[in-house]
Amino acid sequence: MRKSRHNRGSARISPSHRLRVVAALTTLMVAGAGWSQAEARSPAKATPHRVIHGPNYHPPYAAIVFDDKSGRALHEVSADEPRHPASLTKIMTLYLLFEQLEQGRLQLDTPLPISTRAALQNPTKLGLKANQTIKVEDAIKGLVTKSANDAAVVVAESIGGSEEEFAKLMTLKARMLGMTSTTYVNASGLPAEEQITTARDQALLGCAIQHRFPGFYRYFATPSFQYKGVEMHNHNTLLGQVKGVDGIKTGYTEASGYNLVSSVRRDEKHIVAVILGGTSNAARDARMRQLIEDHISLASTQRTVPIVVETNGQHGTDEDRAPVLASFAARNAEAPAGERFDATLAPAKADPIPLPRPRVQAAERPANPAKQAASTRAKPNRPLQLTPNNASTVTARRDVSTSTLNQAGRGHF
């Protein structure tokens, strides 16, 4: 009897009900397959050129064209609005690496140890292997051309002991350069919510790295680089295509959009232009070409403002290496956010406003310069220790950098 009742219950299930059940199961199977495909397209496995956004992709845009010699913004749109730098971050990574080379703590052929953490970084990367080494010059070229994230971490760990400590040094250096709206939390530019910058700050850095390291800056013009038999071409396709372009760096994440900092020297003029939030490589590059051609003629041929230097008084003691260019740090309060701004139409707004001068001034120097010089010689820079466990060196750097940042009250880590 029980069996017959069960059969009669089964017979009452209508064909339409069965179809709905089958349809629901099919939907779940398709959704599961789609989820698996999405997981397979994670950043660690995605190809660099995969398009992961649709036709309505419009990241927040910002731009500036800065005249290096006059200290004026020839054009700006949302230049002080926070944006994610993406791989423009590597400009500061290279700034600190060039500083180590300048001070003799590293040489171009110095082997840098590759940690497991560095080797496991997401693309783009050189494919470095843990427990091996890479020479400094190869790391530089890998950063400039391939925008290699694994090489960025190698540099960070070699200088700062860890990427986290190195990021603190990066932020401290940004403050010393007057980049008041930039915070770094990693050395590569891989997505991080707290890693922010502005178009104005990136223009400042684009000028500063050239002024401080004119010899090493030439690496940014490297057209291609061969590493272990693999040739990599520079992502900056404006090199060799636009007259006067000598660097410097591209960048992209989904949140940032397509970024580019370009330096142009033409007819005794020098401008640094920044685009943040392009919708594609092609659109970004086309816009940069337009900005360059529209504004290079407005740039000055004579330097009327000091070049960009750090505000700690350690570098550039000549009169022409005085304070940081003010127009970078001074925000244009009169213009609404996002409004296009041309210095030729409103020159008063574009005039630079001096920042505080370096702490060491002529009036504040000791009466006995010889004694000061002797004191300076008595405290030479300690060479960088490249041992796997450079705990003492890293601890000393951590104490100095954290203390200084806390005094400034500007660090956000």
Helix/strand/coil (H/E/C) assignment for every residue in 223-239? CEEEECCEEEECCCCCC
pLDDT of res. 312: 65
Q: Could you tell me the CA-to-CA distances from 106 to 98, 110, 111, 136 in Å, in that order?
A: 9, 6, 9, 8
Average pLDDT value for residue range 135-152: 98
Q: Is 70 a catalytic residue?
A: no
Q: Which of 27-36, 38-47, 155-164 has the highest mean pLDDT?
A: 155-164
* 69 pLDDT more than 80: yes
Contacts of 356 (CB under 8 A, 6+ apart): 311, 323
Report strand pairing: 224-227 vs 230-233: antiparallel
Query: What is the amino acid identity at position 76?
Result: E
* 98 pLDDT more than 90: yes
- The total number of structural domains in the chain stands at 1
DSSP 383: P
Let me know if residue 378 belongs to a domain: no
Phi-psi map region of 57: left, alpha, beta (phi>0 left; psi -120 to 50 alpha): beta
- Pick the more confident residue, 332 or 208: 208
pLDDT of res. 358: 28
* CA-based nearest residue to 134, from 149, 117, 155: 155
Let me know if residue 267 belongs to a domain: yes
- The answer to whether the beta carbons of residues 207 and 308 sit under 8 Å apart is yes
* 63 pLDDT more than 70: yes
- The per-residue pLDDT of the chain, averaged, comes to 75
Query: Distance (Å, rounded) from C-alpha 64 to C-alpha 73?
Result: 7
DSSP 323: S
pLDDT of res. 319: 39
Lowest model confidence (mean pLDDT) among 16-30, 143-157, 212-226, 326-340 = 326-340
- Pick the more confident residue, 313 or 110: 110
Let me know if residue 390 belongs to a domain: no
Domain that holds residue 249: 62-356
Q: pTM here?
A: 0.68
- The answer to whether the beta carbons of residues 411 and 405 sit under 8 Å apart is yes
Let me know if residue 289 belongs to a domain: yes
Lowest model confidence (mean pLDDT) among 110-119, 237-246, 268-277, 341-350 = 341-350
Catalytic-labelled residue, pool 70, 78, 90, 263: 90
Residue 96: give its domain's CATH number.
3.40.710.10
* CA-based nearest residue to 352, from 204, 136, 174: 204
* 194 pLDDT more than 80: yes
Q: How confident is the model at residue 193 (pLDDT cuts 50, 70, 90)?
A: very high
* CA-based nearest residue to 154, from 97, 226, 209: 97
| Token output for 287 | 């816009």
* CA-based nearest residue to 350, from 323, 321, 324, 325: 325
- Pick the more confident residue, 326 or 355: 326
pLDDT of res. 19: 56
Please name the residue that has the structure tokens 């660097």: 247
Average pLDDT value for residue range 171-189: 97
Catalytic-labelled residue, pool 70, 78, 87, 263: 87
Catalytic-labelled residue, pool 70, 78, 115, 147: 147
* 3 pLDDT more than 90: no
Q: How confident is the model at residue 337 (pLDDT cuts 50, 70, 90)?
A: very low
Q: Is 87 a catalytic residue?
A: yes
* 385 pLDDT more than 90: no
Let me know if residue 245 belongs to a domain: yes
Please name the residue that has the structure tokens 């008595």: 378
Q: Is 4 a catalytic residue?
A: no
Bridge partners (DSSP) listed for residue 224: 233
Let me know if residue 392 belongs to a domain: no
Let me know if residue 393 belongs to a domain: no
* 192 pLDDT more than 60: yes
* 302 pLDDT more than 80: yes
Let me know if residue 98 belongs to a domain: yes
